[in-house]
């Protein structure tokens, strides 16, 4: 793609686009799924809290499998492409405040490509 073609890209619809995994696998699947870890309720919480915070140019969507099932529930925020594991509503609140309001990162919840399920959650 030429630089000229890139410069004609349309402006993004949103400042940030959050994809929350709500994928459901069959019961007992070895990798688990975000739906069985309250992914849908956490997504709903994130949507309502984002509205309360007045985040008007942020879109929060459901996503099918993001392929990090064992680390879930997971979400990814674009355009940065930052991934988080957010097992609680408090974690969602921290990501909203720190990442989407303040522009920072929540290091303790960020996922890296090498990450595996933490020992304390491997039960």
Do the domain assignments include residue 122? no
Q: How far apart, in Å, do the first and last CA atoms of the chain sit? A: 48
CA 75 distance to own-chain centroid: 2
State how many domains the chain has: 1
Least confident range of 42-46, 64-68, 99-103, 118-122? 118-122
User: Does residue 3 form part of some domain?
Assistant: no
In a domain, 2, yes or no: no
Position 118 in a domain: no
Q: Using CA atoms, how far apart are residues 18 and 7, in angstroms rounded to an integer?
A: 25
Helix (H) or strand (E) holding 83: strand 82-85
Is residue 87 assigned to a domain?
yes
pLDDT > 70 in the chain, percent: 89
Residue 61: CATH number of its domain: 3.40.30.10
- pLDDT, position 29: 85
Q: Is 84 contained in some domain?
A: yes
Cα–Cα distances (Å) from 90 to 71, 78, 107, in that order, read 17, 21, 15
User: Which domain does 23 fall in, by range?
Assistant: 19-112
pTM of the model: 0.85
| pLDDT of res. 31 | 82
Question: Which tens digit of pLDDT belongs to each residue from 59-79?
Answer: 999 999 998 888 889 999 999
Instruction: Record the tokens describing residue 51, joined without a space.
Output: 């509205």
Query: Is residue 6 situated within a structural domain?
Result: no
pLDDT at residue 123, as a whole number: 45
Residue 26 in domain:
yes
Q: Taking the CB of residue 69, how many other CB atoms lie within 10 A of it?
A: 22
């Amino acid at each position: 793609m030429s630089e000229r073609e890139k410069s004609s890209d349309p402006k993004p619809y949103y400042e940030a686009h959050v994809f929350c995994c709500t994928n459901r696998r069959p019961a007992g699947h070895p990798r688990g799924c975000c739906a069985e870890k309250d992914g849908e309720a956490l997504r709903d919480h994130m949507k309502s809290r984002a509205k309360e915070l007045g985040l008007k140019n942020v879109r929060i969507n459901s996503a099918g499998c993001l392929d990090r099932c064992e680390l879930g529930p997971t979400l990814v925020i674009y355009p940065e492409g930052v991934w988080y594991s957010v097992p609680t509503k408090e974690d969602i609140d921290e990501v909203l405040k720190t990442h989407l309001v303040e522009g920072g990162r929540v290091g303790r919840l960020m996922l890296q490509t090498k990450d595996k399920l933490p020992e304390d959650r491997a039960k």
